[in-house]
Copies of this chain bind each other. A is one copy, B any other.
Amino acid sequence: MSVRDWIDTKRTGGALKGDEIRAFVAGVTNGSIADAQAAALLMAVCIRGMTDEETAALTDAMLASGKRLDWSAFGFRTVDKHSTGGVGDKVSLVLAPAVAACGGRVPMISGRSLGHTGGTLDKLESIPGFRTDLSLARLQALTAEIGCAFGAATADIAPADRLLYALRDATGTVASIPLITASILSKKAAEGLSGLVLDVKVRSGAFLPARDDAHTLARSLVATSERLGMRAVALITDMSKPLGLTIGNALEVAESVAVLKGGGPRDVVAIVRALGGEMLKLAGCAPSAGHGAEAIGASLRDGSALDVFRRVVEAQGGDAGVVDGEAELPAARHREEIRAAHAGVVTHLDARALGIAATKLGAGREAATDRVAPGAGLVLKKSVGDYAERGDVLVEAHFDEPARFEGVRKLVAGAVVLGSEAPSLAEIVHERIGR
């Protein structure tokens, strides 16, 4: 059997065997399978799909192309969270320290901003001195010592995923639930987790805005995790509007610190409690997700989560003064205000449009090689349900280069909808998938 047979199997809608999938991933990794052949197979998978068994085998083979953290000598269970990406999603910065403060261990490997969505690494790196380029050994040591750490994917984590993703990106084969599942989980499984909580976003600002797609992805992620021996729960959460009131790296760090100090926007607190509760339950640190959520809330009020965050910042080379207001986060050189053209209640804040606007200002990347501007972004002065008089500031835009503001005023003005009736606020957690 060779790659042409595997291609035929998928082209005609059949299922590949585990050893065929392993041989395919090995061939892509060692270069013995041509890009064109891999692309043909990936397209067939994209259109025909994969069974849960195939998806698990693919994930496992991608995981096996690299290293995996081994926690067997440590005597504790590790948990993590993965989000499908959103706008203003600073959850990880609060969640990992809060879970750690409650006894969980979180060796968090995160990503960077892409398209209209932000990235945890970019946010953390806006703290002066903060380094995310940890070796796996260092990530492991910090997690054991402090309870959590924030690393970037290293070259030895699922190298097959990097090769396959680059190929998918070039060949229009990104949009496939099994391929997305394998890409996410091969990297998370490399953390050697006992449990994984998945935050699958829906609506405007999400990677897959449609509810059905989000549901299918959540189900695939949970089923595949469980097949790989990682207990998993997915929460489908609302991304119709941005999370919190800031979009942009340093702006979101400041808002995260406010949440870690027991304040901050209610939606951020609510999602941290919900995700953290599930993580504590999977870690064996809480009898139920509800009890876990209570513990998370307490860790935000009593300063224990903030303490962990401060220690992580110090350990990863960052200036911990930013936590206590003794050091400044980077600020953008220019600000512009976008004001209400008429009076009304904010009925909608379009997450996707605001994410695109923040990216234009320099908070994100239009190309993977772009550098982010740490101080750039948007501050929402009115949230959904707030009343604005004509001329009130709705949004503040922060940016370094005036050219970046071009087109943003119009984009932002169109993203903030003012109406006459206060909207009913959507629950942030739409649905829970898992045992």
Q: Which A residues contact B (CB, under 8 angstroms)?
A: 3-4, 7-8, 11, 34-44, 46-48, 167, 170-173, 175
Q: How far is the CB of A39 from chain B (nearest CB, A)?
A: 4
A interface SS class? helix
Question: With A40-B42, A40-B172, A44-B43 in contact, is A34–B34 under 8 Å at CB?
Answer: no
Q: A11-B43, A43-B11 are in contact. Are A170 and B36 (CB under 8 A)?
A: yes
Check A171 against B37 for contact (C-beta < 8 Å): yes
Task: State which of B7, B36, B48, B172 has its C-beta within 8 Å of the C-beta of A167.
Answer: B36
Residues of chain B contacted by A175 (CB below 8 angstroms): 11
> Separation in Å of the A164 CB from the closest CB of chain B?
11
What is the oligomeric copy number? 2
A173: which B residues are within 8 A, CB to CB? 7, 11, 40
Pair A11/B172 contact, Cβ less than 8 Å: yes
Q: How far, in angstroms, from A48 to B43 measured CA to CA in the complex?
A: 11
20 extra interface residue pairs, beta carbon distance < 8 Å, beyond A37-B39, A47-B47, A47-B48 = A7-B43, A7-B171, A11-B43, A11-B47, A11-B173, A34-B35, A35-B36, A36-B36, A36-B39, A36-B167, A36-B171, A37-B170, A37-B171, A37-B172, A39-B39, A39-B43, A40-B43, A41-B43, A43-B44, A44-B47
Task: Give Cα distance in the complex from A42 to B44, angstroms.
Answer: 10
- List B contacts of A44 (CB < 8 A): 43, 47
Closest Cβ–Cβ distance, residue A371 to chain B (whole Å):
24
Q: A42 — nearest CB in chain B belongs to which residue? A: B40
Cross-interface CB contact of A34 among B3, B38, B42, B170, cutoff 8 Å: B170
Q: Which chain B residues border A47 with CB–CB below 8 Å?
A: 11, 43-44, 47-48
A4 contacts across to B, CB distance below 8 A: 170-172
- Most chain B CB within 10 A, of A4, A8, A39, A172, is at A172
Which of B8, B11, B48, B171 interacts with A40 by CB under 8 Å?
B171
Report whether B39 and A172 are in contact in the complex, using a CB–CB cutoff of 8 Å.
Answer: no
Tell me the complex Cα distance, A46–B8, Å: 11
A-B contacts, 14 of them at CB < 8 A, read: A4-B170, A7-B172, A11-B172, A11-B175, A34-B35, A35-B39, A36-B167, A36-B170, A37-B171, A37-B172, A41-B172, A43-B43, A43-B44, A44-B47
* Bound complex: CA A286 to CA B323 (Å): 94
Using Cβ atoms and an 8 Å threshold, which residues of chain B touch A171? 4, 7, 36-37, 39-40
Distance from A175 Cβ to chain B, minimum over Cβ atoms (Å): 8
In angstroms, Cα B46 to Cα A7, docked, is 11
In the complex, what residue of chain B is closest to A172 when comparing beta carbons? B7
A262 to chain B, nearest CB (A): 46
- A40: B residues at CB distance < 8 A: 39-40, 42-43, 171-173
Complex: A11 Cα to B173 Cα, angstroms: 8
List the 7 closest A-B pairs by CB distance, nearest first: A7-B172, A40-B171, A36-B39, A43-B43, A35-B36, A40-B43, A39-B40
Q: How far is the CB of A238 from chain B (nearest CB, A)?
A: 26
Cα distance A286–B15 in the bound complex, in angstroms: 54
CB distance from A42 to the nearest CB of B (A): 7
A34 and chain B: residue at smallest CB distance: B170
State the Cβ distance, A21 to closest chain B Cβ, in Å.
16
Report how far A36 CA is from B167 CA in the complex, Å: 8
* B-side contacts of A7, CB under 8 Å: 43, 171-173
Quick one: which of A8, A41, A43 has the most chain B CB within 10 A?
A43
